[in-house]
Amino acid sequence: MIPCSAHMTSQGKSLKSIPDVAFLGPAGTYSHLIAEKRFGSACRYTPQSTILDVCAYVARRHGRYGIIPVENSSGGAIYETVDILLEGKPRVTIAEEVSLNVHLALLGKRGQPIKHLYSHFAPLEHCATWIRKTLPKAEKHPVVSTAVAASLAAESPNAAALGNRKIAKSLGLDILKFPVQAELPNITAFLVIGKVPPRKLRRHRTTLAVTLLNAPGALCTFLETFRNHKINLSRLLSRPIRGCPKEYAFLVDIDGRSDSPAVAASIRAARKASATLRIVGTYGIGAEYKS
pLDDT of residue 161: 96
Angle, nearest 10°, between helix axes 51-60 and 79-87? Answer: 40
pLDDT of residue 9: 45
CA 126 to chain centre: 17
Per CATH, is 105-177 categorized as 3.40.190.10?
Answer: yes
Region 36-42 average pLDDT: 89
Closest CA to 73 of 221, 184, 192: 184
Confidence of residue 10 (pLDDT cuts 50, 70, 90): very low
Segments in 104-257 forming alpha helices (H): 121-126, 128-134, 146-155, 168-171, 218-228
Across 167-290, the runs of DSSP E, i.e. the strands, are 174-177, 187-193, 204-212, 233-240, 248-255, 274-290
Average confidence score pLDDT of the chain = 89
Confidence of residue 182 (pLDDT cuts 50, 70, 90): confident
Per CATH, is 2-101+187-193 categorized as 3.10.560.10?
Answer: no
pLDDT of residue 17: 67
pLDDT of residue 212: 93
Region 224-246 average pLDDT: 91
List, for residues 274-287, the tens digit of each pLDDT value. Answer: 999 999 999 999 98
Domain ranges in the chain with CATH number 3.40.190.10:
2-101+187-193, 105-177
List, for residues 114-156, the tens digit of each pLDDT value. Answer: 999 999 888 888 888 999 999 999 999 999 889 999 999 999 9
- Identify the CATH number of the domain defined by range 204-290: 3.30.70.260
pTM of the shown model: 0.84
Please name the residues in contact with 238: beta carbons below 8 A apart, sequence gap of 6 or more: 248, 249, 250
Q: Residue 281 in 3-state DSSP?
A: strand
pLDDT of residue 120: 87
Residue 6 has pLDDT above 50, yes or no: no
Region 13-17 average pLDDT: 55
Domain ranges in the chain with CATH number 3.30.70.260:
204-290
Q: How far is residue 273's CA from residue 253's CA, in Å, rounded to a whole number?
A: 17
